[in-house]
A and B are shown apart, each in its own frame.
Chain A
Amino acid sequence: MPKDHEGIGAGTKRREDVRFLTGAGNYTDDINVHGQAHVHFLRSDVAHGRLKKVDTAAAEGMPGVIRVFTGADFEGVGGLPCGWCVTDRHGQPMQEPAHPVLAQGKVRHVGDPIAAVVAETAEQARDAAEAIEVEIEDLPAVIDMKAALEEGATKVHDDLTSNLCYDWGFVEENREAVDKAIKEAAHVTTLELKNQRLVANPMEPRVAVGDFNRGTGEHTLYTTSQNPHVIRLLMGAFVLGIPEHKLRVVAPDVGGGFGSKIFHYAEEAFCTFAAKAVNRPVKWTSSRSEAFISDAQGRDHVTKIELALDKDNNFTAIRTETYANMGAYLSTFAPSVPTWLHGTLMAGNYKTPNIYVNVKAVFTNTVPVDAYRGAGRPEATYQLERVIDKAARELGVDPIALRRQNFVTEFPYATPVAVEYDTGDYHGTMDVLEKMADLSGFEARRKESEARGKLRGLGLNCYIEACGIAPSQLVGQLGARAGLYESATVRVNATGGIVVMTGSHSHGQGHETTFPQVIADMIGIDADMIEIEHGDTANTPMGMGTYGSRSIAVGGSAMVRAAEKVINKAKKIAAHLMEASEADVELKDGQFSVAGTDKSVAWGDVTLAAYVPHNYPLDEIEPGLEETAFYDPSNFTYPAGAYACEVEVDPETGKVEIKRFAAADDFGNIINPMIVDGQVHGGIGQGIGQALLENCVYDESGQILSASFMDYAMPRADDVPFYDVDHSSQTPCTHNPLGVKGCGEAGAIGSPPAVVNAVIDALHSGGHKVDHIDMPVSPARVWAAMNA
């Protein structure tokens, strides 16, 4: 049987830690292929312009230069595809511009790659890139979304009818009922806000190494990806025309992703293409500065939300209008983020009968925007929970009571925005929060802060998210150009050890530890007999990767299904060995036994028989013990939680300090509580970063003003407190075999509104009637609001 500390529910220490703690990790930049050359991309330093000349002659003669590529080399090669087509309010498909690997004709954002130099060393490539003569005719930069949609605005893409990607209404049929409910409401609270643009900034910058085997015609791409199979499919099928069996994509240890490493990027396609073209492996390592202008960015919504209430303070309607920035091109999953990952969550934890969401997605001369931790759900939660807080203040009611009064209490619950929550206990979760956050002690703490000249505030937040993306047939109807199942192969070796090959990918989540915990429980063997392989398309079945808190809910379920198949077959073998009926065979603690007898046979004896089939039912089943399963969920999962944040504001400087942070989450069943805690901590850290610090800012000419850590404020250790987290409120998911919901994004979704609500509360306690401050709630902004 598994040791006590390693089955489901145990806080097993992570096995992957040892290599990371000793410098033995294998990240993509640690991979050097014999004979490799290096590429440097010459990127546009203007936001919008027409390419008049790209002369590479001088660069080609520079020391070490192997070849210089421009957009012309990619004519006839596919562009980077978009994986999701959104249909607009009028039933028309979104406008979908071409996205060339290297710019053709125009540059559309600072950082848009114009040319690429392949040279013996990275510095030589950069030296030569400076020698490329580029002439660009400047065009007006389209930066502000609303201005971009005005009649006569400069177009980012000449061949589109406007800068509008789509105008999406959801649910369009609700529109009139919502308008009516708002007109008839006893009270309507309106809030206009921005969910600012963020840069994901995983600590490992992106890297790509392309390799081509002339002998076999096989391509290999090593890349910093959350989903190597998706890259293989998108790049192979849509960009370079390489069949999957000739293309291997490896994502080894990956140093964080947070969404930004989901997408297929130009540099991956370039390195793969160039490796064949120059017959040398080609490596690109992004600098952090380059990451700020080439990694897909996150959020960037401008929203107006209206919340209607009846005379008893029941929510009767929600209407929102959002402008969502797509940037200059459509990144892989960009169109889905403000729509299906945002509009569907607008009900939150509340039984509001009428909801209508309008989203206008806009092209601008900025870096493309796509999913970042939470992806759409933080934007939905933020506007909803901010407007509820404002409503409570306007109505003079307790913000918790107002939320509780409107909670969904009966499950399953079909929202007016097309999703069905399977399970939850929002009152129970709030009960946990009220206790752990010691809300009853808040007033005393506020007085103590005031005695020190500080303003103290308490902010609450509830969130719901849709995780475990998701049923393939449903997402297909919604415009996804991919299925969203997950896969696993469970390979049992002759001596009983197991290798699980999963299509999920770990870039910090700890799959190598948690996945074995599940199998150890199912079979009753030590977890250290089980290894997890992931991240290499050559040895894992087609998988969709890790994002949207889907690994354990979808990938874990696939693994369970495969393991069940293995166990069923093993029982047949055991029945044969014990000369018993298969129906009577039980598996417990690694022993097969026959009910009501003392017959038993060990796991290892059965696995050996599978591969040494001397005494084996060969007429009934094949030798071997290896099974693959593909799991396609029947619904999303719906983690939910209640968060509380206490801040102190320095009234002289406007500086906000987080004093307490409590998070009560319902993730359903938990495989490894230590890892779940860590995921929540990390999400909260990023959420506090968004609330107080982070801001990706463009000036009107399209230059990024926050293009390095010198100006983009990353949360540091002294910006955050210890967090109190609790996941004892557990309503297991009803439709996946583990009853799990996923926990990766919760903290990032639940924390920004809690922080901002707390700051607004603190300011009111000091007599400052401030309704709203946009994130980041920086000292300068707080001071300006207090002195407006």
Chain B
Amino acid sequence: MYAFDFERPSTLAEAEKALAGEDAQALGGGQTLIPTLKQRLAMPEKLVSLGAIQEIKGVCKGDDGALCVGGGTTHATVAREAAADYPALAALAAHIGDPAVRNRGTIGGSIANNDPAACYPAAVLASGATVVTNKRKIAADDYFKGMFETALDEGEIITEVRFPVPEKASYQKFEQPASRFALVGVFVAKYADGVRVGVTGASEGGVFRWTEAEAALSADFSTGAVEGMARPADGMMSDLHGSAAYRAHLVGVMTRRAVAAAS
């Protein structure tokens, strides 16, 4: 790692101030950022740990019925505390990385990084969630801008993610055998006004909504509605773990399994 200054503010206000400087970077749980720093692929002047800011941690229920997850909440906490209100989200969190990673990694860190194979972006997009920062509220559809790209500005901190709770939902992940990230992960969420399908791991453009499947499932929420339906291989990622055609195929398989498992 290159050398950097380190700050660990205990309030959001202090964190904003600390991040105001040149080349300062926020540190969530560090489960992706620290390995990146080890490879010397990032060179921040200053790292600002968000780990001591209590006001952005925790899971609660909003007045509108949405599940509100603080940006600094670990995956392990979501797995525990969202289980009653949003079991599909809790199950997703319970299978990110491994137990030790889940004890450090945070939702804010995950969606700020927007790894194209990360799990959370699929849930955020499929839930039509709202990403709340220290500056504004961003609708999920406006937030993800492609692989590792988001609508966040420099120094902007995710304080909360608000998930409208669906009637039924499920996340089905087919794991890349080495990293155990999603080779393809599909989050299906059924709301009163329609179904949303978020797909991660598959596309060169990062997480996306499979609108054809959404339309079919909104009309008929059954595996039959998406039977035989497949994404074209164009634009799918291709690497040593799976071709574009294989990923496109898995999008269909995982979508059907998510529909079947939705509860």
B231 in the interface (beta carbon within 8 A) = no
A706 in contact (CB, < 8 A): yes
A709 to B1, CA, bound (A): 19
Contacts of B239 in A (CB 8 A): 705
Task: Say whether B178 contacts A713, CB under 8 Å.
Answer: yes
Q: Which residues of A contact B15 (CB under 8 A)?
A: none
**Taking A123-B1, A123-B3, A652-B253 as contacts, is the C-beta distance between A780 and B178 under 8 angstroms?**
no
> How does the 8 Å CB contact mask read for A281-296 relative to B, with 1 for contact and 0 for none?
0000001010000000
Are A710 and B241 in contact, CB atoms less than 8 angstroms apart? no
Q: Do A710 and B179 touch (CB < 8 A)?
A: yes
Contact B178 A714 (CB under 8 A): yes
Mark each residue of chain A from 549 to 589: 1 if its CB lies under 8 Å from any CB of chain B, else 0. 00000000000000000000000000000000000000000
State the CA gap A697–B243 with chains docked (Å): 15
CB distance from B253 to the nearest CB of A (A): 5
* A693 closest partner in B (C-beta): B177
Determine the distance from Cα of A720 to Cα of B132 in the docked complex, in whole angstroms: 42
The answer to the question of B191 belonging to the interface, with a C-beta cut-off of 8 Å to chain A, is: no
Q: Is B221 an interface residue (CB 8 A)?
A: no
Using CB atoms, name the residue of chain A closest to B174: A653
Contact A697 to B39, CB < 8 A, known contacts A709-B178, A784-B246: no
Question: Contacts A289-B39, A653-B174: A780 and B241 contacting too (C-beta < 8 A)?
Answer: yes
- Bitwise, A379-392 to B at CB < 8 A (1) or not (0) is 00000000000000
Instruction: Give, as a whole number of angstroms, the nearest-CB distance from B102 to chain A.
Output: 16
> A127: which B residues are within 8 A, CB to CB?
2
Q: In the bound complex, what is the Cα–Cα distance between A612 and B241 (angstroms)?
A: 70
A695 & B240 in contact (Cβ 8 Å cutoff): yes
CA gap between A692 and B179 in the complex, in Å = 15
Q: How far is the CA of A342 from the CA of B76 in the complex (A)?
A: 49
Check A705–B240 contact: CB distance below 8 A.
Answer: yes
Q: Does any Cβ of A come within 8 Å of B189's Cβ? A: no
Instruction: Give the complex CA separation of A655 and B254 in angstroms.
Output: 13
Q: Closest CB-CB distance, A726 to chain B, in whole Å?
A: 30
CB distance from A693 to the nearest CB of B (A): 5
A42 to chain B, nearest CB (A): 13
Query: 1/0 contact trace for A700-727 toward B, CB 8 Å?
Result: 0000011001111110000100000000
Q: Does B250 contact A (CB under 8 A)?
A: yes
Q: Does A238 contact B (CB under 8 A)?
A: no
Residue of B nearest to A705 (CB): B240
Asked if A706 and B174 make an inter-chain contact with CB atoms under 8 angstroms apart, the answer reads no
Judge whether A780 and B3 touch: CB under 8 Å.
no
Closest to B177 in A: A713
Quick check: B1 and A783 within 8 Å, CB to CB?
A: no
Question: Number of residues in B with C-beta < 8 Å to the partner?
Answer: 19
Whether the Cβ atoms of A783 and B178 lie closer than 8 Å is: no
B178 near A712 with CB under 8 A, answer yes
Q: Mark B134-162, 1 if CB is under 8 A from A, else 0.
A: 00000000000000000000000000000
User: A778 on the interface (CB 8 Å rule)?
Assistant: yes
Residues of B within 8 A of A287 (CB): 38
* Residues in chain B near residue A655, CB distance under 8 A: 174
Within A106-156, the residues touching B (CB, 8 Å) are 123, 126-127, 130
A697: contacting residue among B1, B40, B240, CB under 8 A: B240
Instruction: List, in ascending order, chain A residues with CB within 8 A of B38's CB.
Output: 287
Report Cα–Cα, A123/B2, bound state, in Å: 8
Secondary structure type dominating chain A contacts? loop
CB-based contact A780/B246 at 8 Å:
yes
A692 — nearest CB in chain B belongs to which residue? B177
- Closest Cβ of chain A to B127, distance in Å, is 25
Contact between chains at B253 and A653 (CB < 8 Å): yes
Q: How far is the CA of A696 from the CA of B241 in the complex (A)?
A: 12
Distance in angstroms between the alpha carbons of A289 and B40 in the assembled complex: 12
State the CA gap A719–B249 with chains docked (Å): 23
Query: In the assembled complex, how far is the CB of residue B77 from the closest CB belonging to chain A, in whole angstroms?
Result: 23
In the complex, what residues of A have CB within 8 A of residue B9's CB?
A: none
Q: Is B242 an interface residue (CB 8 A)?
A: yes
Given A123-B1, A289-B39, A653-B253, A706 and B246 contact (CB-CB distance below 8 Å) = no
CB distance from B111 to the nearest CB of A (A): 20
B240 and A711 form a contact (CB under 8 A): yes
**B250: chain A residues within 8 A (beta carbon):** 653
Q: In the complex, are the beta carbons of A778 and B178 less than 8 A apart?
A: no
A714 to B39, CA, bound (A): 20
B1 contacts across to A, CB distance below 8 A: 123
* B-contact bits for A256-280, CB 8 A (1 contact / 0 none): 0000000000000000000000000
Q: Are B253 and A780 in contact (CB under 8 A)?
A: no
Q: Is the CB of A711 within 8 A of B246?
A: no
Q: How far is the CB of A294 from chain B (nearest CB, A)?
A: 16
Could you tell me the distance between the alpha carbons of A692 and B177 in the complex, rounded to whole angstroms? 9
**A706–B179 touching, CB < 8 Å:** no
Digitize B227-251: 1 where CB-to-A-CB distance is under 8 Å, 0 elsewhere: 0000000000001111100100110
Given the complex, which residues of B lie within 8 Å of A706, measured CB to CB? 178, 240
Query: A784 contacts which of B3, B40, B177, B243 (Cβ < 8 Å)?
Result: B243
A256 to B181, CA, bound (A): 27
A712 to B179, CA, bound (A): 8
In the assembled complex, the CB of B213 is this many whole angstroms from the nearest CB of chain A, namely 16
Q: Give, as a whole number of angstroms, the nearest-CB distance from A58 to chain B.
A: 17
The reply to whether A710 and B178 contact each other, CB–CB distance below 8 Å, is yes
Which A668-720 residues have a C-beta within 8 angstroms of B? Answer: 692-693, 695, 697, 705-706, 709-714, 719
| Complex CA distance for A714 and B176, rounded to whole angstroms | 12
In the complex, the answer to whether B179 meets A780 with C-beta atoms within 8 Å is no
Distance, CA A123 to CA B174, complexed state (A): 38
Chain A residues close to B by CB (< 8 Å): 123, 126-127, 130, 287, 289, 652-653, 655, 692-693, 695, 697, 705-706, 709-714, 719, 778-780, 783-784
Question: Could you jot down 26 A-B contacts, CB within 8 Å?
Answer: A123-B1, A126-B40, A289-B39, A652-B253, A693-B177, A695-B240, A705-B240, A706-B178, A706-B240, A709-B178, A711-B178, A711-B240, A711-B241, A712-B178, A713-B177, A714-B178, A719-B177, A778-B241, A779-B174, A779-B242, A779-B246, A780-B243, A780-B246, A783-B249, A784-B243, A784-B246
Chain B interface residues toward A at CB < 8 A? 1-3, 38-40, 174, 177-179, 239-243, 246, 249-250, 253
In the A-B complex, the 5 residue pairs with the smallest Cβ-Cβ separation, listed nearest first, are A713-B178, A713-B177, A780-B242, A710-B179, A780-B246
